[in-house]
Amino acid sequence: MDKQNSDKFIYNLSTIANIINYLEKDELISLRNIMKKKINISVVCLLQLHEIDKELVVSGSCDSTMKVWKIEKDQCIRTLTGHKSIVKCMIWIKDLNKHFILSGSEDTTLKLWNIDTGKCINTLVGHKGAINSLIYLNEIDKNLVASGSADFNIKLWVISIGDCIKTLEGHTNSINSILYQKTASGSMLLSFGQDETIKVWNINNKDYTSNNAFSNIKTGQINASIAFGSSKVLTCGEDNLVKVWCLIKWDKLKSFGEHKGPIKCIINLEDIDSGLFATGSEDKTIRIWNLKIKDEKIEVTVINVINVKTCFPFSIVQLKLYKEKTLATGNNDGTIQLIKI
């Protein structure tokens, strides 16, 4: 990757629903025309539906809507309305008979959507705070989803009927991120709290108990996390750091401090090249990292710095569409940017 060519934006896409809510449901909307409106509505989360159609990307916004974009044609083809506050997270439910999206919102609800029609099929109610993170536990049960909330709790849901079957309690502040990880010793659910702790939940045989593996470690406030290999986890947070955690030694291996502001999002890019991941920060940069771990010796290099210039990303997805390696970012200025890396 060439740093000199890193600042290559394909185009900016706005997701400002209050400009276009007068349009008919299936009317196609030119993103280039919407871009001319200067209104700030942050894009908080992004999801690509590449197994349905590589061009489809869904965005969730502070305006409480979700939008389905036909990326190459530069069009919004559908708007999903029903949440009453910020849409903070989305996952793709792709093992049921049809294609669904599950969304979590600051309005404390989860909603299940038919992506083909844009209709909300079910609303899951039970949390008392914003839904900050969702995980599809389809390797355990194709009907099982976990949600992490600002009410300090994780809930496990049977999505086919919309029932909560278990509430995991133990955090003392908002849960910002949850992560499923399968290791040699079994399956586990990790939760990362604003209380600066990581909790590990045993989910083998539906035990759902916490083993307090990181109970004596102060992590700092973590905003997002990714699995990295079979026994490592990477986190990013408000302290401007990326951290590597070992799920065997239950310890932090290393911290990296290249960013100059809080890091809002992180994505694994190992299907592009082994060891690659990306982070997005309030310092208005996206950094592409190359991380190598051998015998617990860690080598890390920042191989590309992409200046986002006027905004910062809340979310990043890798687009499996273009011949060139491309990321999409959802930004705090109400745009989606497509960036060649």
DSSP 173-193: S-EEEEEEEEETTEEEEEEEE
Position 106 scores a pLDDT of 96
pTM: 0.85
More confident residue, 14 or 62: 62
Place of tokens 């890019």: 269
Position 322 scores a pLDDT of 67
Contact between 85 and 105 under an 8 Å Cβ cutoff? The reply is: yes
- Neighbour-count burial of 231, counting CB atoms closer than 10 A to its CB (0-12 exposed, 13-18 middle, 19+ buried): middle
**Lowest-confidence region among 106-120, 269-283, 317-331:** 317-331
What is the arrangement of strands in the sheet containing 163-168, beginning at the earlier edge strand?
A: 131-136, 144-149, 154-158, 163-168
Region 332-337: mean pLDDT is 88
Q: How many angstroms separate the Cα of 336 from the Cα of each of 49, 56, 71, 124, 284?
A: 16, 13, 10, 28, 14
More confident residue, 290 or 211: 290
Position 182 scores a pLDDT of 83
Name the DSSP class of 32.
Answer: H
Type of residue found at 9: F
Position 31 scores a pLDDT of 41
* Measured distance CA(29)–CA(43) in Å, rounded: 17
Length of the chain: 341
Position 40 scores a pLDDT of 52
Tens-place pLDDT, residues 139-198: 888 889 999 999 999 999 999 899 999 999 999 999 999 999 887 777 889 999 899 999
Position 153 scores a pLDDT of 96
Region 278-282: mean pLDDT is 96
Region 72-81: mean pLDDT is 87
Q: What are 269's two structure tokens?
A: 């890019």
**Which secondary structure element, helix H or strand E, spans residue 202, and what is its range?**
strand 198-202
* Measured distance CA(299)–CA(199) in Å, rounded: 27
Region 81-103: mean pLDDT is 88
Region 324-332: mean pLDDT is 87
Position 97 scores a pLDDT of 66
More confident residue, 18 or 154: 154
Region 97-116: mean pLDDT is 91
Tens-place pLDDT, residues 232-258: 999 999 999 999 999 888 899 999 999
